[in-house]
Structure 1
Amino acid sequence: MTEDTGTRTDRASSATPNRKRGVLLFLRDLLVIFVVAVLVSFLIKTFLIRSFFIPSQSMEETLFIDDRIIVNQLVPEVTPLERGDVIVFRDPGGWLPARVENPQPPLVAAVDWFLSFVGLAAPDSNDHLVKRLIGMPGDHVVCCNALGQMSVNDVPLDEPYVALPPGETKVSRDDFDVTVPDDSLWVMGDNRNNSKDSRYNGETPLGGFVPIENVVGRAFVVSWPIDHWAWLDNYPQVFDGVDEAGD
């Protein structure tokens, strides 16, 4: 039995809207997935983790210029800070030079805004600093002893993360003796002779100390470039016994 021309035409006519409806449903699902992904990325970036890039050499050999790091933003509100943490914090005032914003083409600015919105870019990295946390509130931090070591609460520190010039054993070019105020931190770069850290911001309004409320979070991994990928250690063994000595 053969199918007449009219039946074939009717089936073809009914198939066309079905295909269109299928394409529209597919596009709708893609749009929903995209919107959900953007919202989830925004929530993760806002409350959990976000990315920063390294703008200076102050943390070498741990972090290098243009490295990308992932920062846990639950620190310090949910997870407490610990000595040895690599932290990201907002400028307490006077640490960073004034910066002039260069105008961007509208399309580039829009792309940067979107990538920042979902946490894939960090255009404000130049407004933040990355250092290692050395002194907690109440800590007595002194440098240097006869061996060139720094001490916290009279406990000498053996710091494997510190980068020094060949032949140099003193972990700070300049001596200091400070007690960290309440709700503040003492921070230093791993590249000790090339870091404008708490030691060299004594003339700023807060005297080189960083308010805990300025801490954005703790860096826990180097995510880019691939050959620099690494977990960031806070070296708890370095600070073993410091809490007991401070009691």
Structure 2
Amino acid sequence: MGKADESRLGTAGPVGSADGVPEDPAEPAEGGGEDEPAAGEKKKGRPAKKKGSGLLEILAYSLGGVVVALLVHTFLLQSFWIPSESMQNTLLVDDYVVVNKLAYKFGPVERGDIVVFKGWNGEDTIKRVIGVGGDHVKCCDAKHRITVNGTPLDEEGKYLYPGAEPSTIEFDVKVPKGRLWLMGDHRNNSADSRYNVEDGHQGTVSEDDVYGRAFLRYWPLNRISLLSQPETFSVVR
């Protein structure tokens, strides 16, 4: 687990005697007409199950489960714990999210996605994508809204922390191809792209450093929900 700033089927023998061989009703049974084998006598055709075979099966299934879990963790899904307030109120401290690590193997990173990535300090970090490669992100317009390619973002009441301004820091960045401009939802409490514009990449992060998209908040139970993409970015071109 990471931290992010964040009925088997078998074949049956033919119906008949205990050893699976049909009896001939015309032939009397040997042994004085006794139909049942003596107590403790091993029935023909049914070898005794070796001791410990049940335990071996359990171990095999357990090992298989572990292998599957490791494969899922490595290539598909991973859980992350939220330690900070930077994504409030979308994500609170001690929330747990599931990240789809294949999300961007077959499609691009999109504006509005919540992603976990290798942050500016080298640690796992979680933020929202505001701008993708080729976008012009700016703060702010006359109504103090962030704009992307000249289109103002309607963030208040959507995902922006109540009472927080879109940004108290001005910026004007053209996002390079293959890179992302990322911001927390709690803009007053998020060390995001705005605070790293002097890092040689204008605060942007490489898409190659993105582990995947957070798509499910699963803990605590009373806050289980999908993390869908807000409609805010649908108007951006």
1:92-127 CA-to-partner distances (Å, cap 9, x unmatched) read x4x36xxxxxxxxxxxxxxxxxxxxxxxxxxxxxx2
Check 1:163–1:59 CA distance in 2 against 1; reply closer, same or farther (3 A cut): same
Letter paired with 1:26:
G
Greater RCO (Cα-Cα under 8 Å, separation 6 or more): 1
* C-alpha contact (below 8 Å) 1:135/1:180 kept by paired residues: yes
Structure 1: gaps spanning 5 or more residues: 97-126
CA distance in 2, matches of 1:220, 1:179: 27
* C-alpha contact (below 8 Å) 1:48/1:73 kept by paired residues: yes
Match of 1:218 in 2: 213
Residue 140 of structure 1 deviates from its aligned partner by 0.5
Residues 55-66 of structure 1 aligned to structure 2 (within 5 Å): 55-66=83-94
- Determine if the alignment matches structure 1 residue 33 to structure 2 residue 29: no
Match of 2:152 in 1: 156
CA distance in 2, matches of 1:214, 1:222: 22
* C-alpha contact (below 8 Å) 2:140/2:146 kept by paired residues: yes
CA distance in 2, matches of 1:205, 1:66: 33
Structure 2 residue matching 1:82: 3-state secondary structure: coil
Letter paired with 2:135:
D
Larger radius of gyration: 2
Letter paired with 2:152:
P
TM-score (norm 1): 0.73
Letter paired with 2:125:
L
Query: Which of these residues, 61, 67, 85, is aligned with residue 95 of structure 2?
Result: 67
Match of 2:4 in 1: none
> What value does the CA root-mean-square deviation take over the aligned residues?
2.2
- Determine if the alignment matches structure 1 residue 43 to structure 2 residue 80: no
Letter paired with 2:236:
V
Query: Which of these residues, 79, 82, 86, is aligned with residue 107 of structure 2?
Result: 79
* C-alpha contact (below 8 Å) 1:201/1:208 kept by paired residues: yes
CA distance in 2, matches of 1:205, 1:24: 63
CA distance in 2, matches of 1:67, 1:241: 30
* C-alpha contact (below 8 Å) 1:201/1:207 kept by paired residues: yes
1:47-67 CA-to-partner distances (Å, cap 9, x unmatched) read 111111112110000001121
Structure 2 residue matching 1:240: 3-state secondary structure: helix
* C-alpha contact (below 8 Å) 2:173/2:202 kept by paired residues: no
Residues 133-144 of structure 1 aligned to structure 2 (within 5 Å): 133-144=129-140
Structure 2: gaps spanning 5 or more residues: 1-31
- Determine if the alignment matches structure 1 residue 191 to structure 2 residue 189: no
Letter paired with 1:194:
N
* C-alpha contact (below 8 Å) 1:164/1:171 kept by paired residues: no
Match of 1:230 in 2: 225
CA distance in 1, matches of 2:173, 2:54: 64
CA distance in 1, matches of 2:93, 2:54: 43
1:46-88 CA-to-partner distances (Å, cap 9, x unmatched) read 1111111112110000001121110010122223211000000
Match of 2:9 in 1: none
- Determine if the alignment matches structure 1 residue 129 to structure 2 residue 125: yes
CA distance in 1, matches of 2:219, 2:115: 18
CA distance in 1, matches of 2:181, 2:235: 18
Letter paired with 1:161:
Y
Structure 1 residue matching 2:52: 3-state secondary structure: helix
CA distance in 1, matches of 2:200, 2:79: 29
Match of 2:201 in 1: 206
